[in-house]
Structure 1
Amino acid sequence: MTSNASAPVRVGLIGAGPWARAMHAPMLAAGPQTHLTAVWARRSEAAAALAGAHGAVAVADVEELFERCEAVAFAVPPAVQAPLAVRAARAGKALLLDKPLGADLAGARAVAQAVAESGVVSQMVLTKRYHPATRAFLARARQTKVTGARSCYLHGAFLDGEMATGWRLKEGALLDLGPHLLDLLDAAVGPIVSVRATGDPRRWVELSCRHENGAVSQASLSGAVRLPRPRTRIELLGESEEVVWDSAGAGHQESWPLLREEFAAAVRSGVPGPLTAAHGLRLQELIAMATP
């Protein structure tokens, strides 16, 4: 790893699909804290196109990608991410990980264990957590005694379009959207100690969460409902005035600067933030608890 603490972190990207094109590649290439150096994907033509669009190099395999970077970002299905993240951690690379951490609890545990044993920095891309509005909401939540909470994450991306494929259609909203909402409820209300689920994750699933402080929260998840725009909302209720967070008008791009800055700072200092692979494992444990 470079000794120049102010130098951009050299990041290799694994994946060249819709999320890599829309988020990872432009965010990492924009800098100044990071520099996108290389892209690898199972479809070499997609990797070449994405790398060329952002001044990076398309590489033939992950070992070559590891040689060209000091951190690895993942934009691939969870069943692909988990084993490659283990390899990257063992190669001494910092990890920028997508959610869910693995396709199942065993995969998630393998990643978290590899990170712990290798001592590398890890950070989860829970995009909403890096938005200024979310940070303001969580700051207010910390000053609020919550009795109960209602929340939802709803959209129609599983009905058609680029996201209506593969693991998302098979596993549904619990594994795809659940990490986001459980993470926010855990942070806003208090640590979740139990989760119960009813419904079909491929259509609509309801979660009932019990928190360490005695509060109860509800979460509605669906990727198969037609809406004008995605709807993510949390309402915190108690003896004082309600505290509400709503994603309306909050674009992903507004989260990129803080996400990039915090990841680069963690890599350069060697001190990870709170959203590590261990946190990703905790979210996966909650999802496993809720799996119908």
Structure 2
Amino acid sequence: MTMQRKTRVGLFGTGPWAQRVHGPALAAHPGVELTGVWGRRPEAAEALAETLSTRAYPTADALIEDVDAVAVALPPDVQAPIAARAARAGRHLLLDKPVATTVDHAREVVDAAAAGGAASVVFLTLRFSSAVLPWLAEQALRDDWFTAHAAWLGSIYARDAEQPAVASPWRHAKGALWDVGPHALSVLLPVLGDVTAVTAADGPEDTTHLLLRHDSGASSTVTLSLTAPAKAGGVDIELRGADGVQRLPEVWGDGPVDAYARAVDALLASAASGEPDRCDVRLGLRITEILAAAERASTAP
């Protein structure tokens, strides 16, 4: 009996998400050989590689050369060019959200994946969470939704937040729209359909309000913030239709490491079958297009 070779995966990024989620999930996955780590700070890559019992690579291209797939935990505008280079080389892609913060960069990743025959998955946490998966599948079977509202209110930059602010320049620059907006859209799109019109208005600090029209005829509103007062934070998604009201489960499942492991499963399955995953880079591109349209429509000066 011939044993199937594990998929060689390289981890790109050394920040908190790579340390707490990507790295541990990849190192523990039975179908993965964690080949190495690359980061923009060599000392951080060395430290994380040691923790994960693998090795640090001196350049991104050297790690791309040695693997079958790349897992990226980097800011979106660093992620996109690395993903495009890897995909053109035929490496499969496990990317974080958002894929990019410009439509051109996101489209470049999509085109590279198509040209290189690369499978891809974008890790949108709710789409791989054990409690949300069956709930979302059930809602997507209905076609009589009237409207929906999603509120994703974080407090990481709030003045009264107990936790220290996250040291993430791109989040400071792009705000909640680009950081947590993909999460809200990842739930609304498979249920209500694609977005056909976007209106946006600014609220306090980085808060953004969206009004969306969907191709099913339903409408939705979305409120996003990373600066909500600590006691006002939280996540709520509510769908209203002919059968009544449905709300996102309060408990999402077994945590982000297990959700990420399911994203790895999805990538391996897509690479083996040749069938695109529902959360592939084309969804990442569409989310980027919607967020860019919302940014253009914003009332900000």
TM-score relative to the length of structure 1: 0.92
1:205 pairs with 197, 208, 211, which one? 208
C-alpha distance in 2, partners of 1:219/1:13?
Answer: 33
> Match of 1:65?
63
**Map of 2:221 onto structure 1:** 218
Letter matched to residue 54 of structure 2: A
5+ residue gaps, structure 1, are none
After superposition, what is the alpha-carbon deviation per residue over 1:7-62, rounded to whole angstroms, capped at 9, x for unaligned? Answer: 32110011101111111101111111222111000100100111111111101011
Instruction: State the match for 2:283 in structure 1.
Output: 279
Tell me whether 1:50 sits opposite 2:44 in the alignment. no
Cα offsets for 1:78-119 (capped at 9, x unmatched): 111111111111111111111111121111111111111222
Pair 1:202–1:125, CA change in 2 (3 A): farther
The residue type paired with residue 221 of structure 1 is L
Match of 2:115 in 1: 117
Matched residue count = 289
Measured in 2, the distance between the counterparts of 1:232 and 1:165 equals: 21
On the 8 A contact 1:201/1:221 being kept in 2, the answer is no
Residues of 2 paired with 1:265 and 1:7: CA distance? 14
Equivalent position SS for 1:120 = coil
Instruction: Answer whether contact 2:155 2:229 (CA < 8 A) is retained.
Output: yes
Could you tell me how far apart the structure 2 residues matched to 1:89 and 1:290 are? 28
User: Per-residue CA shift, 1:164-194, capped at 9, x if unaligned?
Assistant: 4301011101111111111210112222212
Give the Å deviation of 1:261: 1.4
Is 2:210–2:222's contact at 8 Å kept on the other side of the alignment? yes
- SS of 1:242's partner is strand
Q: In structure 1, what residue type is equivalent to 2:77?
A: A
Q: Under a length normalisation based on structure 2, what TM-score does the superposition of the two structures give?
A: 0.90
For structure 2, the 5+ residue unaligned runs are: none
Aligned-pair distance for 1:139? 1.9
Alignment check: 8 A CA contact 2:132 2:252 kept: no
Q: Are 1:148 and 2:152 counterparts?
A: no
CA 1:202/1:76 → structure 2, altered by over 3 Å: closer, same or farther?
A: farther
Q: Is the 8 A contact 2:192 2:215 kept in 1?
A: no
Structure 2 counterpart of 1:81: 79
Q: 1:73 is paired with a residue of what secondary structure?
A: strand
Residue 26 of structure 2 is aligned to residue 22 of structure 1: no
Whole-angstrom distance in 2 between the partners of 1:193 and 1:38 = 42
Letter in 2 for 1:262: A
Query: CA shift at 1:230, angstroms?
Result: 5.9
Contact kept in structure 2, 1:172 and 1:202, CA below 8 Å: no
SS at match of 1:109: helix
Q: CA deviation at 1:218?
A: 0.8
- Quote the Cα distance in structure 2 between the aligned partners of 1:121 and 1:224: 36
Give % identity: 37
Deviation at 1:224, TM superposition (A): 0.9
Q: Which runs of 4+ in 1 moved over 6 A?
A: none
Q: Aligned equivalents of 2:98 and 2:268: distance in 1?
A: 22
SS for the counterpart of 1:255 is: helix
- Post-superposition Cα deviations, 1:228-269, rounded to whole Å, max 9, x if no partner, equal 696222111112121111444643234133222111222233
The change in CA–CA distance for 1:110 and 1:49 in structure 2 (over 3 A counts) is same
Give 3-state SS (helix, strand or coil) of 2:74's partner: coil
* Cα distance in 1 between the residues matched to 2:93 and 2:3: 18
* Secondary structure in structure 1 of the residue aligned to 2:131: helix
Matches of 1:244 and 1:227 in 2, distance apart?
22
Matched with 1:288 is 292
Contact (CA 8 Å) 2:22, 2:260: kept in 1 or not? Answer: no
Distance in 2 between the 1:64 and 1:162 partners? 34
Provide the residue aligned with 1:257 in structure 2. 261
Give the letter for the 1:151 counterpart: A
Equivalences for residues 168-207 of structure 1 within 5 A = 168-200=171-203, 203-207=206-210
Over the residues paired in the alignment, what is the CA RMSD in angstroms?
A: 2.0
**Contact 2:127/2:133, CA 8 A, preserved across alignment:** yes
